Structure formats: C-alpha cells, structure tokens
Structure 1
C-alpha cells in the first residue's frame, strides 16, 4: 500500500468518488422541474461541503470501533486529525481518510432526491449534519470499522465458520442506508402539489444522462478504490469487469421492462437502469464471477423498473426514485450474495450462513436508518419547518430559497 502505484490509485479513486457527488447533482437536477434545478443541485453541493468538514473534524474517528458492540468510535479521539497528520504513516492514513470521506458525502447527497421540489435548504443542511453524525458515521463503523456487522458471522456461527458479511463497497452502508432515509423523509415532507403518475416530467433529459455517465465513470473508483490497500491490487480486474458488466446488463433489464410495460424504452430509463446496476454491484463487485454479475445486473434493472411504481401504489412521494433504485437495488445486491457469492453462496457450495448474515445486516441497517432519519425529519419539520410553503413550491424553489434561476433565456425578464 506504500508503493507509488498504490498511492497514485488511491488519489485517483478518491477524486473519482468525489466527482460522483456532482454526478448525482446533474442526474437529479435534470429530473426535476426547471425552477427547482438550482435547489436540487445545491443539496448535493451542500452535503459535499458540510459532510467533508464533519468527517475531518470527528466523523473519521467515529467510523472505527474497538469492540463489536460499540455504537461508534470516540469523536474526540483525534479531533481534526491532528495526531494522524503528524504521526507515523500519516501519508497513507490521510489518504484512506480522504477516500472514506467521499463515501460519507455521497450517501447523504443521495437522500436528497426523495424530497426534490419542496425542501428548505437550511433544513436540509441541518438534517444532513445530524444524519451523517447519528447514522452514517456509526453505520460505517458497524460495516467496515470493526462493529457488529463486520463481526456478525463470527458472532452467530463462531470464528471457525469463516463466515462474514460481504459489503465490499457499500450496499448496506451507502445504498440501503440512503434509501431507507429517503423513504423516511418522503413520508415526513409529504407529496408534492399535483403528485400523480405522469404529471411531473424531467425538465432536462441530457443533464440526467450526463449525471448517469459521470456516476458510471466515478463508480470504478467507488468499487475498486479500496484495492490500493492490497499489496498487488490483485482483485481490481474482477471488480472492474463486474462494475462494467452488471451496470450494462441492468440498462438492458430496465429498458426491456419499460418496453413491455409502457411500449417505449426511454433514455431516462436507461440512465436509471445504469444507476440501479451500479447500486447492486457495489456490495458484490469482488465476490461474483462475471457471469453472475451480469445476471445480477439484468435482474436488478428489471426489478427496479417495476419497484419505482410502488410510490404510486403505496402513496409516498419519493420524487426521484431513491427508494426504488437505491433501497431496492441495495437490498438485491446484498442479499444476492447469500446465493451467488463465490464459494460461500448457498447455490455455489456454501451453506445458508452467508444468506443469513447478509439479510440480518441489510435489514438491521435499513431499520436503524429509517427510524433515526424519520425522527430527525419530524423534529426539523415541527420546529423550523422542512417543507417550503405551497405557494413557494408553485412559484419555484430556486428563486424563493436561493434567489437564482437555472436558466435565464431572456435577459429582459
């Protein structure tokens, strides 16, 4: 990990994953109304600014624990990373910390899609800070930092079993976490004015496609970045081909369902399918053969294309389908490993143990994230208010909240 090549890849991967949050901003920005695009993109950039600072101050400290059942690490153990920056191994230690920050940032940014067109920016920033502190930082410790998810296999089946939860790059910590929180906030803020199927169209489809392209580009760092920690980076080839293959297959799965269901495959559907495939392969990228990654992708694309209709049937307004793509896709990718993980999957030579720990981890994070996000959202809504006034929503969130417009086509206006 100290080799120049490893360090170069660590810096590159960190930049790639950081670039994904502007990718989210573009992807989401194209999907909302023209008079909400600035607000939508600012929610991603606001998360980028705030969560970066919190991670450096105390979040990185919270993401590592000393014992299995610790809630989180001590936030003040190295406040502001002063000791890490001056200690032995500072170079690689700070690189790893920067890489970890990008995951925290994008997890929070993803949630914003569920409350598009109707949220106050200040309320969102307060939520983002509290959610990062109370949910993402502890969950990162549970999954990757020595916590209960990390040790779940040995806790249930004993050390001799060799069973462990597989979440290589964030199916539980990022996507299930963000998707559950998105559902909670959608319920707290309620439906947009005029919410019904077909009435709210994307205002800029090319912007959404650009965002999806940036996400796919950055995801090679998201999934493969941690390989810089291995001496020979021997797993990066498998991770790369699976990230490509599952995503491509998910595009196909999504547009086939669209064609069968609605008569036409859409570009927004193709972009959404790509994101769904990326979500599903995130936990599984290092533990599937390429053929099973393709199968995961096509199944996820098809299922998520159907899952986004749930909001109309169940009556919650998840504006940009964070639940249908990230929560459902994250669950599929995480649980799929219980069946198809190389050597340990139930259908590939393993017993039921892998499936058991995958399900417990997925639903443990889901329930915790939903409850805490719902409570935070309710408190903000009942105090300073989370949702803009109806008349402000109709007038346009951009001008009311930010005093800006995304497009000024006539300078006389």
Structure 2
C-alpha cells in the first residue's frame, strides 16, 4: 500500500461527506420556503445516517462483492466481513476500509439528491423506508454493474465518478417520485422563491469544493490522473456557471446568483462521468453545454409538463448526468487515461453506443425501480403528509423545530393553514 494514496483518499472521503452535510443540506435548505428548512436538511442528514448503516450491513457487499452473473455482488462483505487494513480489492494501494467508506459517501449523497424532487411533502417515515429500499435494490445493483465488475463494466461503459450511477439514477428517481407522490398543493398557485440565497450559495460553494473529492478521489490514488480530474472539475464548473449566467441574462433579461451557481453545479454534474477520461478543453466544452441542457430542462420541459420537481433534481442531475455520460462517449481519449477507451471523436463510435446503453439502463432502473419501491412503501406508511401539515410547513407540523425562532412563527403557520 502507498501512504500518499491512502492519505489522499482519506481526505477525499471526508470532503465528500462534507459535500453531503453541510453542502447539499444548505444548498437545498436555502432554496425551499422558510417553513421547510429543517425538514429538507433532515432528509440530507438522515440519509447519511441510514445509508452508512445499510452500507456496512449489506449494501457494500451487494455493490462490490464477488460478481454473480454480472448482475449483483456476492455476500463476501456482509457486515464488513473481510473488509480490513489490507489493500482494497487486491489491486489498489489503499486500505479496504478506506475504499469501502469512500463508496459509502457516494451512496449516501445519491439518496440525498433524490429528496430535492419531493421536498416539502414527503412524509418522514416514508423517506427513511424509501432510502433503505432504494439503496438496496437500485443503487447497489447499478454500482455493481458499472464499477463492481458487472455487465456494463465488462461491456466497456465508462463512468469515472458517477454520471450514470449517481446523477442519472438520483435525478430520474427524483422525477419519478415527484410524479408518484404528486405536486405540492400550492405548486401552480404561487411563485416559489428561495427563502435564503446566502445559505444556498454557501451550500453551492461547499458542493463545488466537495466535488474535488468526489471526482479526483475517484482516481483512487494520488497521481497524474488525480490532477487531471481536479483540473477538469474546476474548468467544467466555471464554464457551466458562466454559460448559465449569460443564457439567463439573454433570456430573462437579468443575471442572477442562483442561476450562476446552478450553472456551476450543472457543469460539475456534466463532467463527473468524464473527469478522468477527457482533456481539459473537452471538459470545458462539456461544462458549457451542460448549462443550456439543464436550463432548458428547468425552464421549458418542466413548465411544459408541469411536474413538481421541487428543487430541480431531475433538471440538474438527471439531464446533466445524461449529457455527461453521452459526452464521455464523444470526448474520451486514451491519451489521458490508458485504462479507458477512445470516444467517437477519437475514432471509436462503439464507445458512444456503450454510453447510450448505460444511460438507458440507468433511466429504466430508476423509473421502474423507484415506482415499485414507492408503491411498496405506501403499503406500510403514507407517502406524503396531510394538506394541513404541508401548508403549515414540516418544520413545525412534524419536527416542531422551526429554522428561525421568531414571535411570528405561530401566526404565520396559522395563516398558512387558513
């Protein structure tokens, strides 16, 4: 084992967890109304708690255990059995513990992203049960197919840090859940504005910071590939932020901080599957294109079909992940990573086909699997809160824990119900 690789991977793991909480929690918490700040942050925080336990008990084994027919991992690592200080998976230069917890951080934030599509109306018991079932039957198999030696890995689909496994799965699952659970009662009656842009920006900046651990940590070592993915992450984020800013300036006649930050996140999502497979210029292009793809999804597709994806989890992560996975099939080059394959623009059109198969697989897995899991959850507990609880806000109606203590909280809640 290598001490430098181990040190970097421990840091990268901690950064990804910090990206989850407080990063995603603040990002989502700043976007919702002041009646649902605590409940929205709870979804992120509790997913980290729940998934960490599930991952140790069985999730990691299903994702990275000995391959069974290309579809699922074996039971080698149940309860972290056979996970120890030895080199991970026999070929890496980091302890098995480190690799397993790094992957745990990925699994946890993927679940948390889904909560953005259904914030403000899903019941808390349903969210906990959904998280356990979703990570077991959706995420773990997909992670095995792509990263654990499953059939997509064998076919040659490329996903450096989670375009299909993380972003398409979470984004499409968020959309499916939003449709199944139904829109907020006030969805089309009023314009929902972020209640605290400062919290949102702190969250966005933390996500950007965390993405360096997310993407560069996926090199699983401290080397030149780590540096490449680090550079690609920065450039794609900047390109996405600038592109969104100017698109919004042109279309809506004013640039906004929320738009620029959202564009940066779109660029980060887009480059995630490609980060270790493309040149820096290609990463710049991927970030530039991610912005209009996601902008169109949020402002036109969502408006056209009127689904209530509360915090645009599908618009940013779903569509951004689809573009990023396809872009990997266009721009991938072995000149920067010999472990990958060339893409279409480097003489290998077959790679684009493999990427499209991966995209369609993730969409089907997320759509069908999430629908079935939600129907199962609804047998045991209601999926959404009552109208009264929703209008009061979940911070008070369920948690009895307002984000902002003021003398007007009770009066505001009473007015909302009436």
Question: In which range does the TM-score fall when normalised by the shorter chain?
Answer: over 0.9
Contact 1:65 1:146 in 2 (8 A): no
Output the CA distance in 2 between the equivalents of 1:202 and 1:19.
22
Say yes or no: does 1:185 pair with 2:185.
no
The offset of 1:3, in angstroms, is 1.8
| Alignment gaps of 5+ in structure 2 | 89-93, 335-341, 411-418
The offset of 1:341, in angstroms, is 1.4
Counterpart pick for 2:205 among 203, 208, 213: 213
Partner of 2:311: 320
Partner of 1:247: 237
Output the CA distance in 2 between the equivalents of 1:296 and 1:89.
34
The offset of 1:196, in angstroms, is 2.7
Question: How is 1:14-413 mapped onto 2 (pairs within 5 angstroms)?
Answer: 14-22=13-21, 23-67=23-67, 69-74=69-74, 76-85=75-84, 88-89=86-87, 92-152=95-155, 164-196=156-188, 199-229=191-221, 233-309=223-299, 310-342=301-333, 344-348=342-346, 350-410=347-407
Output the CA distance in 2 between the equivalents of 1:276 and 1:390.
33
Output the CA distance in 2 between the equivalents of 1:123 and 1:337.
36
The offset of 1:5, in angstroms, is 1.2
Calculate the aligned-residue CA RMSD, in Å.
1.8
Question: What is the DSSP-based 3-state SS (H/G/I as helix, E as strand, rest coil) of the residue aligned with 1:202?
Answer: coil
Contact 1:196 1:312 in 2 (8 A): no
The offset of 1:65, in angstroms, is 4.9
The offset of 1:409, in angstroms, is 2.7
Question: What is the DSSP-based 3-state SS (H/G/I as helix, E as strand, rest coil) of the residue aligned with 2:58?
Answer: helix
Partner of 1:155: none
Partner of 2:337: none
Output the CA distance in 2 between the equivalents of 1:221 and 1:197.
40
Output the CA distance in 1 between the equivalents of 2:302 and 2:257.
21
Q: Taking structure 1 as reference, are residues 352 and 126 closer, same or farther at Cα in structure 2, changes over 3 Å only?
A: same
What is the TM-score with the length of structure 1 in the denominator?
0.92
Partner of 1:157: none
Contact 1:68 1:151 in 2 (8 A): no
The offset of 1:411, in angstroms, is 9.1
Q: Which stretch shows the higher mean deviation, 234-243 or 353-362? A: 234-243
The offset of 1:311, in angstroms, is 1.7
